[in-house]
């Protein structure tokens, strides 16, 4: 069983979406955690856009990376440049991966346009999560 941490700035959108998809695709092959270098709460639009794809993240919490200092991670995935550059150091032998995704929380426009931007980011993260699991969590 692998331990995987997804790290973002506020642990409200991108890392929450990634946690949801990684749990979905990894099944019992990994324990998935997400955290931020800050905590902003889980974004309701992230919950809604995942619900539209049949994945419930409404029970997720927004956690600070310091809460996981004692977990031996196998992988740490940063999903935004800010988290990669500003993550506090914590000792780990984890393989570190990085993929910068646009921040849907900064989307502007009508409600429909904002949700479309959330959907686009969700699709990018879904593809990344599927590829990650296929490449790194083989039986």
Query: Which residue in the list 28, 70, 111, 139 is annotated as catalytic?
Result: 111
Tens-digit pLDDT profile for residues 29-46: 999 999 998 898 999 999
Question: Is 8 a catalytic site residue?
Answer: yes
72 — alpha (psi -120 to 50), left (phi > 0) or beta? beta
Contacts of 49-54 with CB under 8 Å at 24 or more apart are 49/17, 49/104, 49/115, 49/118, 49/119, 49/122, 50/16, 50/17, 50/20, 50/122, 52/119, 53/122, 53/126
Question: Is 87 a catalytic site residue?
Answer: no
Cβ atoms of residues 38 and 64 within 8 Å: yes
Question: Is 28 a catalytic site residue?
Answer: no
CATH architecture of 2-136: 3-Layer(aba) Sandwich (3.40)
Query: Which residue in the list 14, 23, 122, 126 is annotated as catalytic?
Result: 14
Whole-prediction pTM: 0.92
Higher pLDDT: 100 or 84? It is: 100
């Amino acid at each position: 069983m692998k331990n995987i941490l997804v790290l973002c700035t506020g642990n409200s959108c991108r890392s929450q979406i990634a946690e949801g998809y990684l749990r979905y695709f990894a099944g019992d092959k990994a324990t998935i955690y997400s955290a931020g270098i800050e905590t902003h709460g889980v974004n309701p639009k992230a919950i809604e856009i995942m619900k539209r794809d049949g994945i419930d993240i409404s029970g997720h919490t927004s956690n600070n990376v310091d809460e996981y200092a004692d977990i031996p991670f196998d992988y740490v995935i940063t999903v935004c440049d800010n988290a990669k550059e500003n993550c506090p150091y914590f000792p780990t032998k984890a393989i570190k991966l990085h993929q910068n995704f646009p921040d849907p929380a900064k989307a502007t426009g009508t409600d429909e346009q904002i949700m479309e931007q959330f959907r686009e980011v969700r699709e990018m993260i879904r593809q990344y999560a599927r590829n990650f699991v296929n490449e790194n969590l083989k039986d």
